[in-house]
Amino acid sequence: MLKSLLVAAAVGTLLLAPVHAAAQGTASTQPITAEERAALTPSRSTLEKGWDVANTACADCHGLDGISTAPGIPHLAGQRTVYLHRILLSYQQRERLNDDMNHAIGFLNDDAILAVAAFYASLTPASPQPRDEGWMESAAENGRDPFATIREDMKKCVKCHGEDGNASGSGMPNLTAQDPAYFVQSMQAYRNGERGHRLMQKLVTELDDDTLLKMGTFYGVQEPRKTETKGDGNPDLGQAMAEGCGNCHGADGNPAGANMPTLAGQDARYFIKAMQAYKEGKRSHEKMFEAVESLSEADIQNLAAFYAGQEPVRRNVRTPLTTAEWIKRCERCHGIEGNSTDPRFPALAGQERTYLAEALEAYAGTARGNSAMHAMSAPLSETDIETIVEYYATSQPKSVLYMELPCEDQAE
């Protein structure tokens, strides 16, 4: 007995593997239905019906040729049939909320939605958008170094805090072993005057929060080293006094909370200066003021000596992916250079820039409900999104044709 299998061919290139359907999953990964499978090789009547629907309901925004008429509106020409069908259904069922889209297809039946999906999928894709000048050089650098975009800003930190955030100078804090969230929080405190330090305030004012987060991440992934400045205090007496600090900072100065600083291995002179600043009100923090208010100078020195002798532990901070690594992850579903061959997943090559950026931001913020895309998008920085969007918007889109090939059932 013979049965039909669908084999995809990207213009001029035969793909030997058939289109496989997952056994279960989200709407994007559910098995292809018989109706969707038939629409991959649409009849003339289906395409004519799709043209009628497109002309009536879609052309004002997406063009009758499937080319976007305004920023933020996606190109549909050459898009994958099953993906289009399922996304249109999600708008009709209001799983995706967009007033224009919800209204445009609210009255269409499933046959009409499938026909217009097949029609747009049959069209020639949009030409890729021009690549921004200097993008290749920037992408190549980002491909080698995930922190390439902040290296220039970090030069201002090296003199005091060292190349890797492990300060060698006495009185300077180590920036390693801190959670990026605490690093950003402390830098913002310098910026808004909660921490009094003119030089730090000046330096931080010049940096935006995205840059600060990247810097905090850089220091968070470095291997921390214990300070060489132990101080003149008694670490044994300091250990006894540190019991009251353990709830927030951990018994050995390695806290569990992301918004709590690591004290283990911290420079003793810096620790003393910081505690005195809290005590004198030069650093504004009510709980810390209460904690140090009754401490004598000797008490602070003893605490400094204890924490300086503890071993700092690196936080669980993941090294950011390079541009090349992000693209490789995207290729798992969206194909080489954004030309997917599985009709359930959208092609990204040549897509409209603004739409791509807004889509990634929507997935990152869960405005679009797709757990896999949220997991992929949530860690992306603004620079990551800009680079990924530029890569796909300027990649050459390719149409994909599906052919029915008979094959013989294999007896087991």
174 CB contacts (<8 Å, ≥6 apart)?
161, 165, 166, 167, 224, 225, 227, 265, 266, 267, 312
> Stretch 192-209: mean pLDDT, rounded?
91
> pLDDT-based confidence at 26, cuts 50/70/90?
low
pLDDT for position 383: 77
pLDDT at 404 exceeding the cut of 60: yes
pLDDT for position 141: 59
Cα separation, 369 vs 372, in Å, equals 9
* Residue 149 vs residue 193, higher pLDDT: 193
> Stretch 309-314: mean pLDDT, rounded?
96
pLDDT for position 321: 85
**Terminal CA-CA length for the chain:** 14
pLDDT for position 63: 95
100 CB contacts (<8 Å, ≥6 apart)?
61
Quote the tokens at residue 97: 């909320």
How many other C-beta atoms are found inside a 10 Å radius of the C-beta of residue 396?
Answer: 12
Task: Please state, rounded to an integer, the average pLDDT across all residues of the chain.
Answer: 87
Cα separation, 297 vs 317, in Å, equals 35
Cα separation, 270 vs 168, in Å, equals 12
pLDDT for position 20: 37
* Residue 45 vs residue 23, higher pLDDT: 45
> pLDDT-based confidence at 278, cuts 50/70/90?
very high
Give pLDDT tens digits for 130-171: 877 666 666 665 567 888 888 999 999 999 999 999 998 889
Burial class (CB in 10 A: 0-12, 13-18, 19+), 144: exposed
Choose among 71, 68, 72, 46: nearest CA to 59: 68
- Name the least confident of 108-122, 223-237, 249-263, 380-394: 380-394
Give pLDDT tens digits for 235-277: 999 999 999 999 999 999 999 989 999 999 999 999 999 999 9
Cα separation, 306 vs 232, in Å, equals 10
pLDDT for position 405: 73
346 CB contacts (<8 Å, ≥6 apart)?
79, 80, 83, 87, 334, 340
Give pLDDT tens digits for 319-357: 888 878 889 999 999 999 999 999 999 999 999 999 999
pLDDT at 412 exceeding the cut of 80: no
Cα separation, 400 vs 14, in Å, equals 10
Work out whether the CA dihedral 368, 374, 376, 379 comes out positive or negative. positive
Locus of tokens 């309901």: 57
> Stretch 398-402: mean pLDDT, rounded?
88
How many other C-beta atoms are found inside a 10 Å radius of the C-beta of residue 376?
Answer: 18
126 backbone φψ class: left, alpha, beta (φ>0; ψ -120 to 50)? beta
133 CB contacts (<8 Å, ≥6 apart)?
none
DSSP state of 396: P
pLDDT for position 138: 62
pLDDT at 280 exceeding the cut of 70: yes
What percent of the chain has pLDDT above 90?
Answer: 64
pLDDT for position 365: 84
pLDDT for position 17: 35
Residue 9 CA to its chain's centroid (Å): 32
pLDDT at 21 exceeding the cut of 60: no
Query: For the chain, percent helix, then strand, then coil, each to nearest 5?
Result: 50, 5, 45
Does residue 113 sit in helix, strand or coil? helix
Give pLDDT tens digits for 46-91: 999 999 999 999 999 999 999 999 999 999 999 999 999 999 999 9
> Stretch 183-204: mean pLDDT, rounded?
92
